[in-house]
Amino acid sequence: MSEKIPVQIDDITCEVERGTTILQACKCAGLRVPTLCHHPDLEVAGICRICVVEVEGMSGLQAACAYPIRQPIKVRTNSPRVRRARRVNLDLILSEHYGDCYTCVRNGTCELQELAREYGVDRYRYPSTTTPKFKIDRSTAIVRDQNKCISCKRCIRTCIDLQQVSALETANRGHNVLIQTAFDKPISDVVCINCGQCINRCPTGALRSNMPNELLWHAIDDPEKHVIIQTAPSPRAAIGEEFGYEPGTSVTKKLNAALRRLGFDNVFDTNFAADLTIMEEGTELLTRLKKVLVDGDSSVKVPMFTSCSPGWVKYIEHYYPEYLDHLSSCKSPQQMFGAILKTYYAKKVGIDPEKMVVVALMPCVAKKFECNRPEMSDSGHKDVDFGLTTREMAVMIKEAGIHLKDMPDEDFDHPLGLGSGAGLIFGATGGVMEAAIRSVYEIVTGRPVPFKGLDVMPVRGMEGIRDATLTIENPLPEYQWLDGVTLKVAVAHGTANARILMEKLKAGKLAYHFIEVMACPGGCLGGGGQPIPTSPEIRAARARAIYSEDHQLVLRKSHENPEINQLYAEFLGEPLGHLSHKLLHTHYTPRGRFFLEGL
Partner 1 sequence: MKNEKKKILFGEFVTGAGLVRALEMGPGKVVAEVKASNLKGRGGAGFPTGLKWELTAKQESDEKFIICNADEGEPGTFKDRLLLMEQAEKVLEGMAIAGFAIGARQGFIYLRGEYVYLKKSLEDAIASMINRRFLGQNINKTDFSFEVEVRLGAGAYVCGEEFALISSMNGYRGEPRNKPPYPSEVGFRDKPTVVNNVETLCYVPYIVTKGAEWFKEHGTQASTGTKLFSVSGDVKHPGVYELELGITVNQLLAEVGGEGAKSVQVGGASGLNVAEKDFDKSICFEGLPPGGSIMVFNHQRDMLHVLKNFMEFFVEESCGQCTPCREGNYRLLEGVRMLEKGECSVRYLKELEALCDVMKDSSKCGLGQTAPNAFLSIVENFKTEILYR
Partner 2 sequence: MATGTRAVTNELQEILLKYGKDRTQLLPILVEINNYFGHIDSNSIIEVSRYTGVPIGEIHGVITFYSFLGQKKRGKFVIRLCRTISCDIAGKEQIVRVLEKELGIRFGETTEDGMFSLEYTNCIGMCNNPPAMLINDKAYGGLTPERVVEILDSFKLSEYQDMFGYGGVK
By annotation, the residues acting in catalysis are 281, 284, 308, 328, 367, 370, 375, 524
Kindly state whether residue 182 participates in binding partner 2, applying the rule CB under 8 A. yes
Considering only residues 189-208, where is the footprint of partner 2 by CB under 8 A?
190
The conformation of residue 477, written as its DSSP 8-state character, comes to G
User: Read out DSSP for 450-461?
Assistant: SSGGG--GGG-S
Min separation Cβ 187 and partner 2, Å? 12
Work out what residue 594 binds among partner 1, partner 2, none; the CB cut-off runs from 5 to 8 Å by kind.
partner 2
Which of residues 183, 400, 471, 569 is near partner 2 by CB under 8 A?
A: 183
Work out what residue 85 binds among partner 2, partner 1, none; the CB cut-off runs from 5 to 8 Å by kind.
partner 1
Contacts of 155 (CB under 8 A, 6+ apart): 168, 179, 198, 201, 202, 206, 207
Question: How many other CB atoms sit within 10 Å of the CB of residue 116?
Answer: 18
**What letters, b where the CB count within 10 A reaches 16 and e where it falls short, cover 404-421?**
beebeebebbebbbbbbb
Min separation Cβ 35 and partner 2, Å? 24
* Residue whose C-alpha is closest to residue 21's, from 55, 69, 85, 82: 69
Kindly state whether residue 316 participates in binding partner 2, applying the rule CB under 8 A. no
Question: How many other CB atoms sit within 10 Å of the CB of residue 350?
Answer: 6
**Contact residues for partner 1 (CB under 8 A)?**
44-50, 52, 60-61, 63, 66-68, 70, 81, 84-85, 88-89, 92-93, 95-96, 125-127, 151, 153, 170, 172-177
Kindly state whether residue 169 participates in binding partner 2, applying the rule CB under 8 A. yes
- Our measurement of the distance from residue 12's CA atom to the centroid of its chain's CA atoms, rounded to an integer in Å, reads 39
Binding string to partner 2 for residues 148 to 167, with x set by CB under 8 A, is what? ------------x-----xx
* Residue whose C-alpha is closest to residue 198's, from 218, 219, 221, 181: 181
From CA 96, how far away is CA 131, in angstroms rounded? Answer: 11
Of 52 and 394, which has the nearer Cβ to partner 1? Answer: 52
The residues that bridge with 207 in the sheet, in sequence order, are: 144
Q: How far is CA 27 from CA 7, 8, 24, 513, in A?
A: 13, 13, 5, 44
Which of residues 172, 298, 299, 486 is near partner 2 by CB under 8 A?
A: 172
Min separation Cβ 509 and partner 1, Å? 24
Kindly state whether residue 173 participates in binding partner 2, applying the rule CB under 8 A. yes
From CA 524, how far away is CA 84, in angstroms rounded? Answer: 42
From CA 90, how far away is CA 110, in angstroms rounded? Answer: 14
Of 171 and 462, which has the nearer Cβ to partner 2? Answer: 171
Work out what residue 293 binds among partner 1, partner 2, none; the CB cut-off runs from 5 to 8 Å by kind.
none
Min separation Cβ 155 and partner 1, Å? 15
Binding string to partner 2 for residues 576 to 595, with x set by CB under 8 A, is what? ------------------x-
User: Read out DSSP for 395-425?
Assistant: HHHHHTT--GGGPPP-PPPSSS----HHHHG
In single-letter form, the type of residue at position 502 comes to M
Work out what residue 182 binds among partner 2, partner 1, none; the CB cut-off runs from 5 to 8 Å by kind.
partner 2
In single-letter form, the type of residue at position 177 comes to V
Of 113 and 580, which has the nearer Cβ to partner 1? Answer: 113
Query: By the criterion CB under 8 A, which residues form the site for partner 2?
Result: 160, 166-173, 181-183, 190, 594, 599
